[in-house]
């Protein structure tokens, strides 16, 4: 409900602030940023109020407990690190892509926008796995936790694989929804075929990573991001695309290798994890 409200408010604020409607100044990009800040701030305030209403923060001295701080940092810092590592890797990867020219980078952005239709449902099931695994472990139900993780994975893989098949089989039909530029199309079609093959390992990696976060195993997710992104994707993309000049398709194919490695690492860790011994 918060995110629906945030997005509606964002649109209601962004359109007049960007274009100078209903007596407001025409601020352009600054107006878009201002609308985003205000709408996100309102959403955050509403969520804090909801949490307070439900007593999630406690009262008085109950709101702070230094004994919990080490546990919070133990789980939270690797999660923060994993996000920083992943976004940093994506920036470096984008730098490699743009070295092939504006058309290649435009195709990359188009491909990411199209893939978000598949990625976002998977992300939703990953978050469901985090919440449900944490709840089941808190209730001392390790089998329920494992079942929740398995079902979230199957749902994510089913939806994302279906999208992936359509990306691989009908790449032009997807790309022309965004652009008809011949240069961008030439790059986008092989990219969409790569994106199609990417979806199954991406789905399993996302779902299993969500389950590991629910079990407090954020270190494993961080390790997978380092190995897959920084030790596999970036070196191979640079070597294949820049050093050996094998073309953009080779650069994009390294994304499949990245997520296949992450999938293998997090799946191995979750299988070996003794959920009955996890204490949250």
pLDDT at 65: 73
Question: Coil, strand, or helix at residue 178?
Answer: coil
Mean model confidence pLDDT for the chain: 93
Let me know: does 215 contact 145? Beta carbons within 8 Å.
yes
pLDDT at 66: 79
For the residues 247-275, what does the mean pLDDT come to?
94
Over pLDDT 70: what percentage of the chain? 96
pLDDT at 227: 98
259 contacts: CB under 8 Å, gap ≥ 6:
198, 201, 202, 205, 228
pLDDT at 238: 97
Global confidence as pTM: 0.86
* pLDDT, tens digit (0-9, with 9 covering 90-100), for 55-90: 887 665 566 677 888 888 999 999 999 999 999 999
pLDDT at 276: 66
pLDDT at 55: 83
For the residues 125-144, what does the mean pLDDT come to?
94
Tokens of 58: 């406690």
Identify which of 155, 164, 93 has the alpha carbon closest to the alpha carbon of residue 124: 155
Length of the chain: 280
For the residues 114-141, what does the mean pLDDT come to?
94
pLDDT for 146 beyond 90: yes
pLDDT for 8 beyond 70: yes
Residue appearing with tokens 């199209």? 114
pLDDT band for position 235 (cuts 50, 70, 90): very high
Tokens of 72: 């919070």
pLDDT at 62: 60
Distance CA 177, CA 200 (A): 24
pLDDT at 76: 94
Tokens of 28: 């352009």
For the residues 153-162, what does the mean pLDDT come to?
96
**Of 66 and 112, more confident:** 112
* pLDDT, tens digit (0-9, with 9 covering 90-100), for 15-41: 999 999 999 999 999 999 999 999 999
Distance CA 182, CA 188 (A): 10
């Amino acid at each position: 409900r918060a995110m629906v409200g945030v997005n509606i408010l964002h649109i209601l604020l962004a359109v007049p602030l960007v274009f100078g409607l209903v007596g407001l100044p025409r601020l352009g990009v600054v107006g878009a940023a201002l609308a985003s800040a205000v709408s996100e701030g309102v959403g955050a305030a509403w969520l804090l109020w909801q949490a307070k209403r439900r007593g999630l923060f406690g009262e008085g001295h109950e709101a702070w407990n230094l004994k919990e701080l080490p546990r919070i940092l133990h789980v939270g810092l690797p999660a923060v690190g994993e996000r920083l590592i992943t976004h940093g890797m994506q920036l470096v990867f984008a730098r490699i892509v743009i070295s092939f020219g504006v058309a290649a980078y435009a195709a990359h952005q188009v491909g990411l926008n199209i893939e978000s239709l598949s990625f976002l449902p998977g992300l939703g099931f990953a978050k469901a796995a985090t919440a449900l695994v944490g709840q089941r472990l808190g209730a001392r139900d390790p089998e329920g936790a494992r079942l929740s993780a398995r079902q979230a994975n199957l749902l994510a893989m089913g939806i994302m694989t279906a999208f992936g098949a359509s990306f691989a089989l009908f790449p032009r039909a997807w790309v022309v929804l965004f652009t008809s530029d011949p240069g961008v199309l030439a790059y986008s079609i092989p990219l969409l075929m790569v994106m199609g093959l990417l979806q199954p390992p991406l789905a399993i990696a996302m779902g299993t990573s969500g389950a590991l976060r629910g079990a407090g195993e954020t270190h494993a997710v961080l390790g997978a991001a380092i190995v897959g992104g920084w030790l596999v994707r970036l070196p191979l993309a640079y070597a294949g695309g820049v050093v050996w000049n094998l073309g953009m398709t080779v650069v994009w194919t390294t994304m499949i290798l990245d997520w296949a490695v992450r999938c293998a690492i997090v799946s191995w860790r979750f299988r070996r994890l003794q959920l009955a011994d996890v204490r949250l």
